[in-house]
Amino acid sequence: MAKKRRKLNKDFEKKIYSSKKNVELVLAKIYDIDDEDIQKEYMSGFNKVVYLYDELKEDYERQGFSDNSEELLTSYKNAFNLFESEFEI
């Protein structure tokens, strides 16, 4: 039986790319923090955001655009916004 093709969505791919850039930027800022204790605190606060981004990206690469895609993106955005509100970076 032939494998079902992934459904692609260019707009969603742009959102994933933008999310990737946001994660990379925040990680770079965290790595620039000199105080190791503060850096660890920020990393522990940002780990959930990174996890949700990875889940979003992997789901899209594995399944393509699906009903779950928008849910994952919303979860990622909510976690990112929560991190930004709790930590000044």
Inside any domain, residue 3:
no
Inside any domain, residue 2:
no
Inside any domain, residue 4:
no
Q: What is the mean pLDDT of residues 47-66?
A: 95
Inside any domain, residue 41:
yes
pLDDT tens sequence across 66-84: 889 999 999 999 999 999 9
Inside any domain, residue 33:
yes
Residues shown for the chain: 89
Q: According to the model, what pLDDT value does residue 4 have?
A: 61
User: What is the pTM for the complete model shown?
Assistant: 0.88
Tell me which residue range forms the domain holding 32. Answer: 10-86
Domain count, the chain: 1
Inside any domain, residue 1:
no
Inside any domain, residue 60:
yes
Question: Letter for the amino acid at 78?
Answer: N
Is residue 48 within 8 A of residue 84, CB to CB? The reply is no
Gap between the Cα atoms of 89 and 6, Å rounded: 37
pLDDT tens sequence across 11-53: 999 999 999 999 999 999 999 999 999 999 999 999 999 999 9
**3-state secondary structure at position 55:** helix
